[in-house]
Amino acid sequence: MFPRCLSRTVLGTSISLIYRRPHTTRIPFNVAGIYPPIATPFTENEQVDYGKLQANLLHYREIPFRGFVVQGSNGEYAYLTKEERVEVVRRVREVVPKEKLIMAGSGCESTQATIQMTLEMAKSGADAVLVVTPSYYKGKMTSSALVHHYIKVADHSPVPVVLYSVPANTGLDLPVDAIITLSQHPNIVGLKDSGGDITRIGLIIHKTKQSGFQILAGSAGFLLAGYSVGAVGGVCALANVLGAQVCELERLCINNHWQEAQELQHRLIEPNTAVTRKFGIPGLKQAMEWFGFHGGFCRSPLLPLTEQEINELRNVFTNNGWL
């Protein structure tokens, strides 16, 4: 299945290879908008709870999301088997209307596993794939290695590829020079940046905008700032909980209502930090329960919140006027 010629190319060519954009123009593919990176509810026995997953998606219908990221970091993709990863995408596609984009996380550590997963995700109904940086051998994940990796994935992918940099989990920030090179590939359409360094994000936008490359903020914490420097949307964990509010922030930014946008942004920062950096996925799932969604259990080794953590989490939502 994995083509013999690819490996030859990998090992036989000089690592100074820089992808040159072919004369064919980029297929227009617009990723602008807000996406929740949906959580994967588990049963008490740590099995995927497809019923709760689908119930959440039905509930999300009322919210003007552009689509859904399935198996971003918040989907606990690292804890799913290969088969589960594909099956979850298939089940999501069944429920989600055609006009909503499904962006499926297909990143694995090896290039060949990433390509295989990408093919399967596309077959299961993903409209695009989100490919996290491989990171285990981080000392050797140079710009050159990452450029080779992504080019091979994009060359083989039947659907558009979105790069994904999430240093809090991977310990690796996809370098700006690699992003600029990759932005010229016709099948690489954008970047989800979860690092939140707004100067870096502004620079990436500045250096790639002429090729139609698009940037999505990887968190609701810097969504307004992201729009201010030219991002076109966000993949925001908080949108699992306060989806309508995150979409409202998008609307305010797009329509230049900066003062109201600022006020709303301010009230979203603490809840966002609480369901990401501070309490992680267990915090996200707990908060979902309060807002009518099904968070469900986490898979081990993630632990459920303690009583004290639950109280702290609730206070964050209460103090900012959301509960």
Residues annotated as catalytic (active site), given as ranges? 164, 192
Interaction between residue 228 and a second copy (CB under 8 A): yes
Interaction between residue 4 and a second copy (CB under 8 A): yes
Selected from 113, 244, 310, 323, the binder of a second copy by CB under 8 A is 113
Interaction between residue 312 and a second copy (CB under 8 A): no
Q: Which C-beta is closer to a second copy: that of 59 or that of 228? A: 228
Q: Which C-beta is closer to a second copy: that of 88 or that of 101? A: 88
Residue 276: closest CA among 194, 172, 193: 194
Q: At 229, which helix (H) or strand (E)?
A: helix 223-229
Q: At 209, which helix (H) or strand (E)?
A: none
Q: What contacts 70, CB < 8 A, 6 or more positions away?
A: 38, 88, 89, 92, 102, 103, 104, 105, 126
Q: Which C-beta is closer to a second copy: that of 15 or that of 58? A: 15
Interface with a second copy in residues 144-173 (CB under 8 A): 144-146, 148-149, 152, 168-171
Interface with a second copy in residues 29-58 (CB under 8 A): 44-46
Q: Which C-beta is closer to a second copy: that of 52 or that of 152? A: 152
Q: At 217, which helix (H) or strand (E)?
A: strand 214-217
In the complex, least distance from residue 164 CB atom to a second copy, rounded to whole angstroms? 13
Question: Do you find a cis peptide bond into 175, omega within 30 degrees of 0?
Answer: no
Q: Say if strands 233-235 and 128-132 run parallel, antiparallel, or are unpaired.
A: unpaired
235 is in an annotated binding site: yes
Residue 189: closest CA among 21, 68, 23, 16: 21
Interaction between residue 72 and a second copy (CB under 8 A): no
Interaction between residue 206 and a second copy (CB under 8 A): yes
Q: What contacts 225, CB < 8 A, 6 or more positions away?
A: 198, 217
Interaction between residue 210 and a second copy (CB under 8 A): no
In the complex, least distance from residue 56 CB atom to a second copy, rounded to whole angstroms? 20
Interface with a second copy in residues 251-310 (CB under 8 A): 256, 258, 261-262, 265-267, 269-270, 272-273, 277, 280-282, 297, 299-304, 306
Interaction between residue 112 and a second copy (CB under 8 A): yes
For 55, the token pair is 């119930």
Q: Which C-beta is closer to a second copy: that of 247 or that of 269? A: 269
Complete edge-to-edge strand list for the sheet that includes strand 161-165: 33-35, 233-235, 214-217, 188-193, 161-165, 128-132, 101-105, 67-70, 37-38
Question: Which residues are annotated as part of the binding site?
Answer: 235
